[in-house]
Structure 1
Amino acid sequence: MAVWFVFAVPIVVMFFALFMERVESRLRHVAVQEDEVEELLENARPDEVRALYGHGIGRALELFRLRRGRAKARARKVMRQPTVRIPRPGP
């Protein structure tokens, strides 16, 4: 009987560790980053503060990410616009 415990316990522990690794990897993608919360609290708009108060950090961060994404898209659009070169009068 003790022989079964010698073989079974390490196998059970190994499967438990593999299972917990999968759980941890999924939670890592869902988890909120500390610097993102800090940036939200420093640069929050009124609608984001209301969402934070009424719905929690998840909804407030969602609104903040949407706003930040739109701002980045606008900045990229401005950067892609061609520059106008003024010809210099030559000698």
Structure 2
Amino acid sequence: MTAWIAVLIPLLIMVFALGMERLETRLRSGTVREDEVEDFLERARPDEVKALFRQGIGGALQMFRLRNLGKRGGGSKRGRGTATSPRDTTSV
């Protein structure tokens, strides 16, 4: 009986440790960085603050990131479009 306990206890501890490692990797990928939260709290719009209360920090940060990506991608496209349109009108 003692031999079984001596074998099972280390095996159970190893299985538990492997399970906790898997859980830790899942939790680590879902965490939010501190600078992201600070940036969100400084520049969030009212609809994003509402999303913070309704969906949690993950959903609110997702809306915030999409808005910031839209500014970066949309602003550069508009800048190119306005720069080319006067050239087109002057050349025609």
Distance 1:10 1:19 in 2: 14
- CA separation of 1:76 and 1:29: change in aligned 2, threshold 3 A: farther
Structure number with higher relative contact order (C-alpha < 8 Å, ≥ 6 residues apart): 2
Number of equivalenced pairs? 82
Amino acid at match of 1:23: L
Counterpart residue number, 1:40: 40
Counterpart residue number, 1:58: 58
Higher helix share: 2
Task: Normalising by structure 2, report the TM-score.
Answer: 0.70
| Superposition CA RMSD, Å | 2.5
Amino acid at match of 2:68: R
Task: Normalising by structure 1, report the TM-score.
Answer: 0.71
% identity of equivalent residues: 51
5+ residue gaps, structure 2: 81-92
5+ residue gaps, structure 1: 82-91
Superposition misfits of 4+ residues, deviation over 6 angstroms = none
